[in-house]
Amino acid sequence: MLNSCIIPTYKQYACTLIRSLSCFNKIDDTLKSELNIIKCNHIRECIQIIKSTPISVFIFDFERKRVNDLQYLEIVKTNLTNLKTIALMVEEDLELVRLCGKHGVDKVLLCSGNQSFTRELVEEISNVLNPVSLKDLNIEEDSYNSSKIVAKACHLIEHHYLTLKGVSEVADILNINECTLSREFKKQQIINPKKLLMMFKVKHASQLVTQADLSIKEIAQVSGFSSSQHFNNCYKAIYGVNPSSMRLSALA
């Protein structure tokens, strides 16, 4: 299970769940506290909370397929167009996913079964709040699309860079060894997968460095680095200075 401190307590993550019994029970108790989760059942109450509380993400829980659920969602998005939204579903429903997209939902997450979905939820919240894409790293689709292995690896890294500990995990998911994965990247003449993963993590961290209320250690942790030293080394390799120097320059 993912360490709940991936989302540190220094930032106000207040999440509201509607009709949240089934999915709420699968969230680790520690994470419930750190995410500052608020439960409510009525749309009027929900909007009042969102307007009076610093909300980073609105988590909308479909316990059952209801027309009212979509109406509630539409009201929230109409009143608060910039609010980041994640929809939780107990069972897969492609039509409901399509309607969520139509109503401006940022991400749909399936939470069926009895296993805790803490890892997936944390990952999606982090990605919704601080997304980094391949295009942000100046890697165009044409540079990797001719290889199915490389394309799959790139998309895996793009969507899971915060929780991937190393490229070996990507290779395992693709059922190949790490050397084969590196060779495939080399054939496409793009950066190796290890560096790609590092660049995603560093780019994510760079968005947080100028926030004075975050320590460098906390930034390293929330960006998926194993230690502050590793983070410092990787950051300097990309930007030429360590994150502390970058912060001082930005805040000067």
| Domain at 187, CATH number | 1.10.10.60
Q: How far is CA 113 from CA 23, 41, 91, 98, in A?
A: 10, 23, 9, 22
CA distance 132 to 190: 18
Examine the domain organization and report whether 153 and 228 are in the same domain. yes
Encoded tokens for 96: 């409901």
Are 40 and 148 found together in one domain? no
Per-residue pLDDT of the chain (252 residues; tens, 9 = 90+): 223 333 333 344 456 665 556 666 767 676 666 666 777 766 677 777 777 766 677 777 776 556 667 777 777 777 666 677 888 877 777 888 888 888 788 888 877 554 556 666 766 776 666 678 888 898 887 878 888 999 999 988 987 887 788 999 999 989 999 999 999 999 988 899 999 999 999 998 888 887 656 788 888 887 888 889 999 999 999 999 999 999 888 776
- CATH code for position 75: 3.40.50.2300
The rounded radius of gyration (Å) of the Cα atoms in the chain is 19
Same domain, 42 and 111: yes
Q: Note if the pTM is more than 0.75.
A: no
Domain count for the chain, please give it: 2
| Structural domain range at position 239 | 132-252
Q: Partners of 15 in the beta sheet?
A: 57
Short-list 104, 51, 40, CA closest to 78: 104
Residue 168 CA: distances (Å) to CA of 110, 135, 177:
26, 23, 7
Answer whether 60's CB lies under 8 Å from 18's CB. Answer: yes
